[in-house]
Amino acid sequence: MTTNTKKTTTTAAATEPAATEDQDVTVIGPPLRVGQAPEKVRFAHHLRVGGKEVKPGDEAHVSPDYARQLRGSGYIARTRSQ
């Protein structure tokens, strides 16, 4: 039982700094789930997300799940590999 408590404490300590860093970023669309980091995306089409209009070329932070959904629909611009 002592081992589980130590693991939980370590895990909680590791996730707390990430949560405070994410609070500095405004996420549009669905909220982040616990442990997720926001993903910065560039939009390829005009879209209204949560009452905010984004135009082609605008960048915003969204949840990874929402980014995947938008990519599948073609709303996120392709990134160039360097």
Q: Which residue has the higher pLDDT, 53 or 50?
A: 53
Angle at 37 between CA 51 and CA 42, to 5 degrees: 50
C-alpha dihedral sign at 82, 43, 28, 30: negative
Least confident stretch, 6-15, 40-49, 64-73: 6-15
Q: Which residue has the higher pLDDT, 24 or 45?
A: 45
pLDDT for 82 equals 61
- Could you identify the residue written with the tokens 């996730």? 15
The answer to whether residue 1 scores a pLDDT higher than 70 is: no
Question: What is the tens place of the pLDDT at every residue in 6-43?
Answer: 444 444 433 344 444 545 789 999 999 999 999 999 99
- Could you identify the residue written with the tokens 């616990």? 34
